[in-house]
Amino acid sequence: MSDSNNAHNVSYLDYKGQYKGLSAWIFSTDHKRIGLLYLYTMLAFFSVGAILGLLMKTELIAPGATIMGPKAYNALFTLHGIIMIFIIVVPGLPAVFGNFFLPIMIGAKDVAFPRLNLLSWWLYVIGILIVLTSQFLGDGPPDTGWTFYAPYSFQTPANVLPAVFGAFVMGFSSILTGINFVVTIHRMRAPGMTWFKMPLFPWTLYGTAWIQILATPVIGITLLLIVAERLLGIGIFDPALGGDPILYQHLFWIYSHPAVYIMILPGMGVISEIIPVFSKKTIFGYKAIVLSTMAIAFVGYFVWGHHMFTSGMSGRALYTFSFLTFLVAIPSAIKVFNWVSTMHKGSLDMQTPFYWAVSFIFVFMIGGLTGLVLGSLATNVHVHDTHFVVAHFHYIVFGGTGYAFMAALHYWFPKMFGRMYDLGWANLGWGIFFIGFNALYLPMFFLGMQGMPRRYYDYLPDFHGGNIISSLGAWVMISGIIIIFANLIRSARHGKKTTQKNPWGGKTLEWQVETPPTLENFEEIPTIEKGPYHFGE
């Protein structure tokens, strides 16, 4: 090996392996390159999903058919849901930043199974391609919503089969990533890094990986049953043959509720990394954050019924699911208190990642507290299947995971690319995005309480006012996204070069390696003596 190509002193971006050009990326088993592969795939599909969302909001700017009819609208919200859930937020933070930073943060050279890791990305891309065929082949795009509820999902003539099967393949990818991370964390921590000296982002990835392993097979078999139902007519969910559609809903949410925690837990991990660094203070209540992470991962399995309060369940089941749902609020609130206490009396360094982290706390609280409105039985019946629900889960999934993703991107960007983005444009993009986001989703809470149902292209004239604000908010938010992405993409290619190891003054291991990291991350595996957030008070 020539010296200029030594794995210890060449950046992972410049390393020349046995492949060249595009192949050097799509066949690379380097966890950092795989992380970027996920990032690029996601940014591409996020743009598609966001445009679909924008089209829907534009349709809703006035009652009646504005730019599309009911069929197109049904197809749009289905595809928007499938893209945003299965392609973006479920793999989301673990696949991009988990792949890139988990090994570095625990002092390892790679994940436990690098080739399996590459296979995960390939399965993910194959799954996406299968899903996409549903749009162009057969009798029109699926119109079931991303939930594929029985019995409609096997009665509609639309091309549901590839969408369902694609989601199944992506589930495989998710399981393999989960297995990879659990084994990596168990086997590859640097000497001296005990469980309670592990940084919080790896901790949340650990909780998430367990949910990926234990919940994803349930959706796998459920989707396979839908496939069998459509192809063979086995009757398991078909009332005409004796099956029970409500059983489908149970099986679906047994996965899909824990999946919400697959989405949000790594986001909480990112925020727990950023807050102490920009407050220049040790994180408040490290163990409480760790334990609340595991508590959320655990309790999250037993709350799925709250998606089905109006589907028909025994009274006792209703109380139990409602009670357990309230229980999840406790560990979530513990985290919020920890973040706020960390900032208290800290010397705050107001930078872009910190803006994203603080606004995360703000929108996450709105999303979380409105979740309690939905979790209590009486109010749930009133707002079930209205725009209130849509607003709530966008505040959590987009407000929570989305903000955390942006925070992570702005926090780790200089490390990943060895270049710095323009801070002014980044802050402006954040500001416009934040205003647009709230203008878009806040009115939906009021519309929902007034009774505007979700998933219709049309509405009563009474709801017009709120919808105008909401649709205009969508346009503002998209402008913000364009500024943010344009700034980051330009900076990744032409931004100011930096080899500074630690631009923000972080204490975790990724700030002690080269910028950008070398192929093997560490010349010598470090020995860990202190906890991850020692700011020397």
Partner 1 sequence: MIEHRDDLASKMGMWLFIFTELLLFGMLFVVYAVYRSMHPEAFKLASEELDVVLGTFNTVILLISSMTVAMSITSIQKGNKKLAMTLLIITLVIAVVFLVNKYFEWGSKFEYGFNPGGEELLQLGHGTILFFGLYFVMTGIHAIHILIGVGLFIYVLLQLRKDKIHQTDYIWLENTGLYWHLVDLIWIFLFPLLYLIH
Least separation in angstroms between residue 355's CB and partner 1 is 38
Residue 525 is a binding residue for partner 1 (CB under 8 A)? no
Of the pair 26, 482, the CB lying nearest partner 1 is at 26
> Candidates 68-76, 229-237, 266-274, 340-348 — which segment interacts with partner 1 by CB under 8 A?
229-237
> Candidates 195-203, 210-218, 380-388, 521-529 — which segment interacts with partner 1 by CB under 8 A?
210-218
Least separation in angstroms between residue 184's CB and partner 1 is 8
Binding track, positions 77-116, relative to partner 1; x by CB under 8 A: --------------------------------xx-xx--x
> Candidates 96-104, 227-235, 264-272, 477-485 — which segment interacts with partner 1 by CB under 8 A?
227-235
- C-alpha dihedral (439, 445, 446, 450), degrees to nearest 10: 140
Location of structure tokens 């002014």: 424
**Nearest-angstrom CA–CA distance, 269 and 202:** 7
The H helix count followed by the E strand count for the chain is 18, 2
Residue 134 is a binding residue for partner 1 (CB under 8 A)? no
Among 233, 424, 465, 505, binds partner 1 (CB under 8 A): 233
Peptide bond into 91 cis (omega under 30): no
Location of structure tokens 């009274």: 315
**CB 18: neighbour CB atoms within 10 A?**
7
Among 145, 151, 217, 431, binds partner 1 (CB under 8 A): 217
Q: Which of residues 279-338 bind partner 1 (CB under 8 A)?
A: none
> Candidates 152-160, 184-192, 342-350, 440-448 — which segment interacts with partner 1 by CB under 8 A?
184-192
Residue 153 is a binding residue for partner 1 (CB under 8 A)? no
Q: Which of 12, 15, 7 is nearest to 35 (CA)?
A: 12
| First and final C-alpha spacing in the chain | 46
Among 225, 343, 389, 432, binds partner 1 (CB under 8 A): 225
**Nearest-angstrom CA–CA distance, 273 and 278:** 9
Residue 232 is a binding residue for partner 1 (CB under 8 A)? yes
Location of structure tokens 């549901």: 160
Cα 495 off chain centre by: 27
Least separation in angstroms between residue 91's CB and partner 1 is 17
**Nearest-angstrom CA–CA distance, 455 and 145:** 9
> Candidates 92-100, 183-191, 383-391, 440-448 — which segment interacts with partner 1 by CB under 8 A?
183-191
Contact, 131 vs 86, CB < 8 A? Answer: yes
Least separation in angstroms between residue 375's CB and partner 1 is 24
Residue 220 is a binding residue for partner 1 (CB under 8 A)? yes
Q: Which of residues 446-475 bind partner 1 (CB under 8 A)?
A: none
Least separation in angstroms between residue 131's CB and partner 1 is 21
Of the pair 110, 273, the CB lying nearest partner 1 is at 110
Query: Which letter, b or e, does each residue of 114-132 get, where b requires 16 or more Cβ atoms within 10 Å of its Cβ?
Result: beebbbbbebbbebbebbb
Contact, 33 vs 100, CB < 8 A? Answer: no
Least separation in angstroms between residue 258's CB and partner 1 is 12
Identify any residues that bridge with 453 across adjacent strands, giving them in sequence order.
Answer: 386
Least separation in angstroms between residue 404's CB and partner 1 is 26
The percent of the chain in helix, strand and coil, each rounded to the nearest 5, is 70, 0, 30
Residue 190 is a binding residue for partner 1 (CB under 8 A)? no
Among 44, 129, 241, 489, binds partner 1 (CB under 8 A): 241
Q: Which two tokens stand for residue 370?
A: 């409105």
Query: Which letter, b or e, does each residue of 237-266 get, where b requires 16 or more Cβ atoms within 10 Å of its Cβ?
Result: bbeeeebebeebbbbbbbbbbbbbbbbbbb
Residue 520 is a binding residue for partner 1 (CB under 8 A)? yes
Q: How many residues does the chain have?
A: 537
Least separation in angstroms between residue 457's CB and partner 1 is 35
SS3 403: helix
Of the pair 210, 441, the CB lying nearest partner 1 is at 210
**Nearest-angstrom CA–CA distance, 187 and 149:** 40
How many residues line the site for partner 1 (CB under 8 A)? 40
Binding track, positions 5-24, relative to partner 1; x by CB under 8 A: --x-----------------
Q: What residue ranges bind partner 1 (CB under 8 A)?
A: 7, 109-110, 112-113, 116, 175, 178-180, 182-183, 186-188, 213-214, 216-218, 220-222, 224-225, 228, 232-236, 241-244, 247, 251, 254, 519-520
